[in-house]
Amino acid sequence: MTSSGAMDGEVGNAGAKLPALALAQVSEILPPPGARRILFFSKRKRHTRVPSHLIRGFENNGHQVLWVRPSKWRRFLGKRGRNGALGLLARSWKPDMILVYKADATPDLLDAMPKDLPVILYYEDLPLPDPCEPDEGLVATGRKCDIFFTTARGLIPVLESKGVPRCVYLRGGVDPTDHRLGAMRPELRSDLAFIGQASDAGRVGLMATLAKQFDVKLYGRGWQEQLGIAPTHDHVEPKLYGDICASAALIVGMDARSDVDLYFSNRTWLTLGCGGCLLTHYIPGLEEFFNNHEHLVWFHSEAECAELAQHYLAHPDERKRIAKAGHDLVHRYHTFTHATAEMIATLECRPWFSQTAAS
């Protein structure tokens, strides 16, 4: 097998070294010098719940968050009314900083904020169809920010070339409240499961190949139209995600792009956080977070994916070992408590974890 080092004893043993970016456990996060009041602009994001995960992360680190949905205010007040009202809110609540999720605050809204407030943006996505040509609205918002945090390291030079003043890589993470071990449900049982839309030819082609050889369940929109396979569920929220991970032998990962340095969707965090055994397409830098065949398994081609799936379906003990190791790693080293601590510390130009943790 082309990348089966663990099966040949190369990696995955109990004494394997932690990946480079497993920097600190929660207990090793440094407390901030003071609590911060954070005005948070974001939509609700009912399916992913990332805004709620960010808020819990900040609160775990001792900060206070006021969550505002600008799109809702605009719906009732119009653009100018929204900008004026939220400007007054900012001046009366007196936050220490503003956080924007994705591009959920437009440049004109940020212009209405007090001029001395630092603004940071958290972008957990990849501009598509061409990462080299991000949406102008996102870029315009980024230009207004003191720090643009991106979960795609390869996006940094693109954004800087567009005039975004400071871009910093920040990985995503798991939320212990939502991302938990699920329950095995017979109606969700399958050899392989894929959670995501049938949105590009690469993942549709991969699932078409796998569906010829294995029992596959698909979750998300577009699979009936693209592949003739009705999805088991059109939408997946956190509890269902955990149950799928507990019911499918392997969760397949395939992002719209696999060539951007250190970009992978939150499917990786969710799957590991919910205890699934993840078989995912390799992306540049993935080994900085995970050991292959220890925390997850990666492939480079459809043929290799099928070959690895065949092996691990025949070896359930290995699957369970990998799923447990991946789950333990992300809950120890990659939570939103980590991510939000790093955000604040980066803004304040100080370390976010005890230096003895990395030694």
Measured distance between the N- and C-terminal CA atoms of the chain, rounded to whole angstroms:
35
Give 206's pLDDT tier (boundaries 50, 70, 90).
very high
CA distance 51 to 19: 27
Taking residues 184-200, what's their average pLDDT? 95
Taking residues 133-148, what's their average pLDDT? 95
Taking residues 32-47, what's their average pLDDT? 92
The structure tokens 């025949």 sit at: 314
Buried b vs exposed e over 122-146: b needs ≥16 C-beta within 10 Å?
bbbbbbeeebeebeeebbbbbebbe
The pLDDT assigned to 12 comes to 41
User: pLDDT tens digit string along 241-261?
Assistant: 999 999 999 999 999 899 999
3-state per-residue secondary structure call for 250-261: EEEECCCCCCCC
Q: Which residue has the higher pLDDT, 2 or 199?
A: 199
The pLDDT assigned to 8 comes to 37
The pLDDT assigned to 15 comes to 53
Taking residues 215-237, what's their average pLDDT? 94
| Residue 194 predicted with pLDDT over 50 | yes
Which residues are CB-neighbours of 165 under 8 A, at least 6 positions away? 143, 145, 146
The pLDDT assigned to 83 comes to 96
Give 357's pLDDT tier (boundaries 50, 70, 90).
low
Paired residues of 248 in beta bridges: 190
| Residue 1 predicted with pLDDT over 50 | no
The pLDDT assigned to 7 comes to 42
User: pLDDT tens digit string along 305-314?
Assistant: 999 999 999 9
**What is the share, in percent, of the chain residues with pLDDT greater than 90?**
90
CA distance 189 to 194: 12
The pLDDT assigned to 6 comes to 41
- Which domains, from first to last, does the chain contain? 31-173+336-357 (3.40.50.2300), 186-333 (3.40.50.2000)
Specify the DSSP class assigned to residue 356.
G
The pLDDT assigned to 196 comes to 93
Helix axes 302-313, 201-211, angle to 10 degrees: 40
Type of residue found at 283 = I
The pLDDT assigned to 339 comes to 97
Which residues are CB-neighbours of 214 under 8 A, at least 6 positions away? 191, 192, 306, 309, 313
Distances (CA, A) of 194 to 46, 74, 148, 215, 314: 20, 36, 31, 11, 19
Taking residues 201-207, what's their average pLDDT? 94
The pLDDT assigned to 358 comes to 52
* Helical spans, DSSP H, in 286-354: 302-313, 316-333, 336-347
Whole-number mean pLDDT of the chain? 93
Specify the DSSP class assigned to residue 226.
H
* Helical spans, DSSP H, in 46-178: 50-60, 70-93, 107-111, 136-143, 156-161
Taking residues 284-312, what's their average pLDDT? 98
Whether residue 129 is preceded by a cis peptide bond, meaning omega within 30 degrees of 0, is yes
Taking residues 118-129, what's their average pLDDT? 93
**What is the share, in percent, of the chain residues with pLDDT greater than 70?**
94
CA distance 112 to 219: 41
CA distance 169 to 269: 16
User: pLDDT tens digit string along 67-119?
Assistant: 999 999 999 999 999 999 999 999 999 999 999 999 899 999 999 999 999 99
Which residues are CB-neighbours of 220 under 8 A, at least 6 positions away? 194, 195, 196, 197, 198, 231, 234, 235, 236
| Residue 274 predicted with pLDDT over 50 | yes
Question: Within a 10 A sphere around the Cβ of 345, how many other Cβ atoms?
Answer: 18
